[in-house]
Chain A
Amino acid sequence: MEQGEFYDAALGARTQSLFRDVNERVKEINSAFAEHLPLGDWVCECADNACTERIALTSQAYEAVRADPKRFIVAPSDDHVFEEIEDVVERTERFWVVEKEGPAGELAAKVDPRRIGLRGSEEAMHSQDGGDVTVFRSLSSAEDGAGGR
């Protein structure tokens, strides 16, 4: 893989990982307000860093996706799929599931907060295990302006 392609894959994985974290926090909020919310309201995890589209799915469906660290939930449209780094593995009326492939998938798995206890889980808040996020260092300087993932 060319270095530029690696950067593109890493940027995509980094941003999708951050939106995965958003949904992990949404999960906590859904739980806190469970009496008000029959169906969870989640955020599209696609690789467009300007996307804030909302997706309705059950907690069970969300958990099924989270069980695989290479999978992400996106809004049900080709506009939210980046074929260079992922494949659509499930299509429903309300959401699609994409699976990241190659280096992007490996990076996404490395920073999965459920596997490395990183980024805000209660048990990891004082952990010394920061997980392997060093791969993302210096990506910011490689980005040519905002917008791309």
Chain B
Amino acid sequence: MEQVAADEKTPAERKALNEGVFRRANEKLERAANDLDFADADSLVPFLCECPRPECREIVMLRLREYENVRSSGRGGFAALGHEDRSIERVVARNSRFVMTEKFGEAGDVHAQADPRG
């Protein structure tokens, strides 16, 4: 995984790139969960919070169909409750485990362009 360096990027761009690091890790975790047969409808799978703080390692439990719903948009993401950053994203859904977010503006553009699913 390439290193995220401090540079001339805007704060919104930097936050979106940070969230992209977590998104790429979560894509691999989804594959792991499928390989280990956690694909049934009710199993909760541990993912990493996709908030923009580099030091965050919060575990968020999602069902795989919830994760796929998040990934259906290149601007989408999720975060532990209270970890959303309203300067770059709006909350589009919420439950007792996580908030589903959609990035807007420059952060949304950067996040969508870096979407590993294209």
Q: How large is the interface on A (under 10, 10 to 19, 20 to 34, 35 or more residues)?
A: 35 or more
Contact of B36 among A14, A26, A31, A33 (CB under 8 A): A14
Nearest B residue to A141, CB-CB: B40
Interface size on B, residues (CB 8 A): 35
Q: If the complex has contacts A25-B25, A28-B25, A36-B54, are A140 and B40 also in contact, measured as CB distance less than 8 A?
A: yes
Which chain B residues lie closer than 8 Å to A42 at the CB level? 57
Which residue of A36, A52, A113, A146 contacts B55 across the interface (Cβ within 8 Å)? A36
A109 at the interface (CB under 8 A from B): no
CB of B37 within 8 Å of the partner chain: yes
Determine whether the beta carbon of A18 is less than 8 Å from that of B1.
Answer: no
13 contacts between A and B (CB under 8 A): A14-B37, A18-B32, A18-B38, A18-B46, A21-B36, A22-B29, A22-B59, A26-B48, A52-B61, A111-B36, A119-B31, A119-B35, A146-B42
Closest 7 CB pairs of A and B: A120-B28, A33-B54, A119-B32, A25-B25, A52-B59, A21-B32, A28-B1
**Interface residues of A, Cβ cutoff 8 Å to B:** 14, 17-19, 21-22, 25-26, 28-29, 31-37, 41-43, 49, 52, 54, 111, 113, 118-120, 130-131, 133, 136-140, 146
